[in-house]
């Protein structure tokens, strides 16, 4: 068996520490090596044994989570999963945590209903595994951890059936659809910052929980020449606009005359995610076809791989981020293995490639 991922839980709430321990210990690939009520206690435990991953709350006594995160990343880099309450104030702070080097950000698990608890459990364990993979990518990458066996793994079929007819669409606007997961927030930031304002409309799925995608979109809007916003149901996608799928909702592309709108909907997790890249890519393959360009960036797992292949088969151009610049070379690797990728590029090469293509 592969070595278990050792996790240190840092949270000032005893109830949360107990709940997180129970959730993580339910996964046979994860071991909770300890818990800490604040960063000062956490440091003492780290000096005795270095964990593979730290889960970290933001607001804590004696030292706040952001300060602790900066110290860890500057002195002894360890993958950190930030677990934060979904408040408007907290989302801005949590976005700052991503800038400081946090590998993942998720909301605190919901305990009020079995379905939401199970979904939170899936997301938490996957976030820890992805963070551990990100660390290993700088050293020696083993095989991607096997999926948990606690829930059905739906494909995009549950949201939108695959079209049996090859897409033949000529007179529509050009669009770009993009998907990312672990490491994607910074990759998307670098990508959008390098684009001029007259680019085709861009629809993006970044695996991120509800409440955080709005802050993420606002932060991107401040640094980009393009208009960036969290998508709302019925929003039009047009030249110079970027729509970010809202956390906990799938986003589909739909035709609107010669243009496009997005549909935002609640439905089961697809490839263990909501939003799912495969859902966006399948809808783009159906309604945009050769007028779309699909881009798949860093992330653990296979979400988006089949969708990118469907885009390619519909006549769309497809791009995958290369291994050298990916924090986790999971999603792009799976798309390449399936034969769904026309171009393999470094993150700094993707924007110039698209500018040359469209302008």
pLDDT of residue 88: 52
CB 131 within 8 A of CB 53: yes
pLDDT of residue 210: 86
pLDDT of residue 200: 98
Listed in order, strand segments (DSSP E) in 86-212 are: 104-107, 175-180, 201-206
pLDDT of residue 90: 56
pLDDT of residue 157: 77
Residue 298, CA distances (Å) to 41, 233, 239, 284 in order: 33, 27, 25, 20
Active site residues: 181, 207, 303
| DSSP symbol at 167 | -
Per-residue confidence in pLDDT tens, the chain, 359 aa:
468 999 999 999 999 899 999 999 999 999 999 999 999 999 999 999 999 999 999 888 788 888 999 998 988 899 999 988 754 555 778 788 888 889 988 887 765 555 656 777 888 999 999 999 884 333 333 333 333 333 445 677 767 777 654 545 555 699 999 999 999 999 999 999 999 999 999 999 999 988 889 999 999 999 999 999 999 999 999 999 999 999 999 999 999 988 999 999 999 999 999 999 999 999 999 999 999 999 999 999 999 999 999 999 999 999 999 999 999 999 999 999 999 999 999 999 999 999 999 99
Domains and CATH numbers, the chain: 5-136 (3.40.50.2300), 160-358 (3.40.50.180)
Q: How far apart are CA 7 and CA 27, in angstroms?
A: 12
> For residue 204, what are the β-bridge partners?
178, 244
pLDDT of residue 204: 98
pTM equals 0.85
Structure-block tokens of residue 274: 């909501």
């Amino acid at each position: 068996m592969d070595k278990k991922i050792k996790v240190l839980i840092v949270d000032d709430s005893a109830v949360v520490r107990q709940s997180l321990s129970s959730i993580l210990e339910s996964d046979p690939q994860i071991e909770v090596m300890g818990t800490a009520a604040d960063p000062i206690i956490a440091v003492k435990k780290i000096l005795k044994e270095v964990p593979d991953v730290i889960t970290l709350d933001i607001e804590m006594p004696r030292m706040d989570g952001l300060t602790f995160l900066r110290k860890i990343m500057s002195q002894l880099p360890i993958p950190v999963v930030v677990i934060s309450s979904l408040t408007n104030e907290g989302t801005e702070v949590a976005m700052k945590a991503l800038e400081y080097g946090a590998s993942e950000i998720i909301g605190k698990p919901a305990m009020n209903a079995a379905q939401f608890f199970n979904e939170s459990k899936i997301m938490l364990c996957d976030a820890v595994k992805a963070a551990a993979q990100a660390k290993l990518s700088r050293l020696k990458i083993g095989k991607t951890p096997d999926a948990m066996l606690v829930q059905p793994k739906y494909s995009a079929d549950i949201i939108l059936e695959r079209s049996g007819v090859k897409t033949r669409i000529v007179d529509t606007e050009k669009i770009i659809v993009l998907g990312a997961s672990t490491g994607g927030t910074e990759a998307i930031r670098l990508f959008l910052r390098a684009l001029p304002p007259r680019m085709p409309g861009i629809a993006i799925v970044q695996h991120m929980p509800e409440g955080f995608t709005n802050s993420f979109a606002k932060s991107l809007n401040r640094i980009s020449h393009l208009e960036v916003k969290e998508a709302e149901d019925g929003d039009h996608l047009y030249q110079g606009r970027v729509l970010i799928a809202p956390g906990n909702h799938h986003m589909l592309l739909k035709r609107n005359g010669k243009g496009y709108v997005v549909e935002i909907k609640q439905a089961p997790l697809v490839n263990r995610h909501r939003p799912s890249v495969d859902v966006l890519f399948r809808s783009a393959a159906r309604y945009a076809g050769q007028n779309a360009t699909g881009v798949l960036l860093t992330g653990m797992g296979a979400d988006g791989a089949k969708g990118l292949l469907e885009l390619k088969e519909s006549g769309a151009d497809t791009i995958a981020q290369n291994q050298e610049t990916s924090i986790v070379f999971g999603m792009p690797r799976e798309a390449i293995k399936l034969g769904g990728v026309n171009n393999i590029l470094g993150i700094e090469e993707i924007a110039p490639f698209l500018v040359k293509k469209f302008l």
